[in-house]
Structure 1
Amino acid sequence: MTSLAAGLSALQVRFWGVRGSVPACGPRFERYGGNTPCVEIRCNDRLVVVDAGTGLVALGVELGPDAPATIDILLSHLHLDHVGGLPFFRPALMADRFVRLHCGNLRGETAEVALDRLFSPPLFPVSLAQLPGSFEHVGFKAGDPLRLDDGLEVRTIPLNHPGGATGYRFDHGGRAICYISDIEHEEPWPPPDLASFVAGSDLVIYDGMFSETEYLRCRGWGHSTWEKGVALCEAAGVTSLAIFHLHPQHDDEYLARLDAEMGARMPGAFLAREGQILTYPADD
């Protein structure tokens, strides 16, 4: 089930893709999953999608003919692992569906020009505009609140990533989920504005692509470690952390050991898994 029962006031997250950079496939990657970033957020039965990596394909199949007439996709940024699922998203292949793409890391410009460069010959056979579904491109500045057409407001924050990226906060029914990917930590850590942004949330989804050793070789690539995710949550008083954007070469055996190590360090910390659903009922 991808939707909540009618009338039930809750905030829900479902992970459709949790890997970074490129998909991971094969029996060594079955437990945590191999698709690139895509997260489904439900405010009651209101659907919002964050990022459009290869996990978006499976979400589209699950939605099937019951997909909402209009679907909002909030892009953290435009790197390939976050947009590669767009032309294969089933609602985009349906003539009576409308997909609205929101992009906040281009100083208010939309993603249309960039996506047209990517999805066009010789790199791709057709443009998004040539698909049966209709697309609308919305630009905003990361840090400004994003107001969707039905009045739903999503808070945003700029993130430290090559070319920029946008973090999102969803507040509904007295509960909150924050999506903080892709980000590279800075010193001192965490920055006060980011700690304030996630404070009071029920869950922080955080980019933990590298181990501390790997990060030493990959400074400047725009990613972080689970230890910095824990430090952010401790500073902000958040007790639940989902580590996301998992390294494509970290297999199930490695990640299981990491999961246990994280849980010992912070009981509410875990590695996100493809297909995992978390529901936060409204505060009474």
Structure 2
Amino acid sequence: MSRIENQFTVQFWGVRGSIPCPGSSTVRYGGNTPCVAMQVGGKRLIFDCGTGVHVLGQSLLSQMPVEGHIFFTHSHWDHMQGFPFFSPAFIKGNQFNIYGAIAPDGSTIEQRLNDQMLHPNFPVPLQIMQANLNFHNIKAGQPIQIDDIMIETRHLNHPGEAVGYRVNWHGGSAVYITDTEHLPEKLDQNVLWLARNADILIYDSTYTDDEYHSPKLPKIGWGHSTWQEAVKVAQAANVKTLVIYHHDPGHNDDFLDNVGKQVFEKFPGAIMAREGLILQVPVLDPLSESIDLSGKLTWCEKNGRREF
């Protein structure tokens, strides 16, 4: 078995919410909207297609032909706006399985991706993509099996609905929970179930508690959570590594540095998501069935930021 077929890695290509925010004040964490790729035992899983998926696509052009599985949490624009610019989808010989839940209005993920590429919004239609695109309608609460990879799903608390994902492979687990708003008086049981004993929890931490409860412009009902709630979930679910994700476009690098320090004081196994960050999930060796200790997550402190 090759080295890549024995690994479970997570790479961040877009970490912002709402809108892209490139510029000198966001260069350290990045300004692209959501996209996280996982390499799981030789299989490529992609979660959301914000503008970060364009950068991912460019990196894949040297690896043709490409096969992958794309999972959408929902179809708000910041999570799908990069799909029309995903270069590998335009190249014949590539293949992508695309998964998404049916929206409350009854539309499928294929219909919604198609609609955003219609005139006058976009110059070319979805049908011009030459890759083999296979669309799958999923239902939150039902698992998805891809060979020996088990992907569990649950509803999230977000306007228009969203789906959270947990990827399980050879004893390792990575959880992708965005976009979701915490409940007022108790932890969301769907979130806790997905996050249980996870090696990595990627969690929507768009706001601080002060922003969420601001008397001037409260964010209650906007469909997003806070880093303080992320810590509560991680502690209650016995998570090993918490990743603060879906940064607000108004939060610059210095602001996020400060958030990172506060989070780490509350939960030492926490890090801030930034573009280019790669995490490795420890897994059972499929051949020896023993834990590969070299795959354990490690970090170092540099210039006030935690880096791998």
- Report if TM-score (shorter chain) is over 0.5: yes
**Deviation of residue 213 (structure 1)?**
2.0
Q: What CA distance in whole angstroms lies between the structure 1 residues aligned with 2:244 and 2:4?
A: 31
CA contact (8 A) 2:102 2:108 kept: no
- Number of equivalences: 280
CA contact (8 A) 2:9 2:40 kept: yes
Q: Residues 147-186 of structure 1 correspond to what in structure 2 (within 5 A)? A: 147-148=145-146, 150=147, 152-186=149-183
Structure 1 counterpart of 2:27, from 19, 30, 37: 30
**Deviation of residue 27 (structure 1)?**
1.0
CA contact (8 A) 2:65 2:93 kept: no
SS at match of 1:29: coil
Runs (5+) with no aligned partner, structure 2: 285-289, 291-308
CA contact (8 A) 1:177 1:203 kept: yes
Name the aligned partner's letter for residue 236 of structure 1.
A
Name the aligned partner's letter for residue 282 of structure 2.
P
Q: What CA distance in whole angstroms lies between the structure 1 residues aligned with 2:98 and 2:108?
A: 8
Name the aligned partner's letter for residue 124 of structure 1.
F
Name the aligned partner's letter for residue 260 of structure 2.
D
**Deviation of residue 105 (structure 1)?**
5.0
SS at match of 2:45: strand
**Deviation of residue 263 (structure 1)?**
0.6
Partner of 2:74: 77
The structure with the larger Rg is: 2
Structure 1 counterpart of 2:121, from 119, 123, 137: 123
Residue 195 of structure 2 is aligned to residue 194 of structure 1: no
**Deviation of residue 237 (structure 1)?**
1.2
Q: What CA distance in whole angstroms lies between the structure 2 residues aligned with 1:151 and 1:9?
A: 12
Deviations 1:142-190 (A, max 9, x none): 1111223x45321111100011001000111211000010000013321
CA, structure 1 residues 256+73, in 2 after alignment: closer, same or farther (shift >3 Å)? same
**Deviation of residue 65 (structure 1)?**
3.5
CA contact (8 A) 1:38 1:49 kept: yes
Partner of 1:93: 90
CA contact (8 A) 1:53 1:83 kept: yes
SS at match of 1:262: helix
- Deviation larger for 106-115 or 19-28: 106-115
Q: What CA distance in whole angstroms lies between the structure 2 residues aligned with 1:49 and 1:95?
A: 19
The two structures, once aligned, show a CA RMSD in angstroms of 1.8
Greater RCO (CA < 8 Å, at least 6 residues apart): 1
CA contact (8 A) 1:105 1:163 kept: no
**Deviation of residue 7 (structure 1)?**
5.8
Partner of 2:220: 219
Structure 1 counterpart of 2:202, from 196, 201, 205: 205
Runs (5+) with no aligned partner, structure 1: none
Partner of 2:294: none
**Deviation of residue 282 (structure 1)?**
1.6
Q: What CA distance in whole angstroms lies between the structure 2 residues aligned with 1:195 and 1:116?
A: 34
- Deviation larger for 8-17 or 190-199: 190-199
Partner of 2:60: 63
- Deviation larger for 91-100 or 191-200: 191-200
Partner of 2:304: none
Q: What CA distance in whole angstroms lies between the structure 2 residues aligned with 1:268 and 1:165?
A: 26
Q: What CA distance in whole angstroms lies between the structure 1 residues aligned with 2:42 and 2:269?
A: 26
CA contact (8 A) 2:156 2:190 kept: no
Identity value in percent:
36
Partner of 1:146: 144
- Deviation larger for 85-94 or 224-233: 85-94
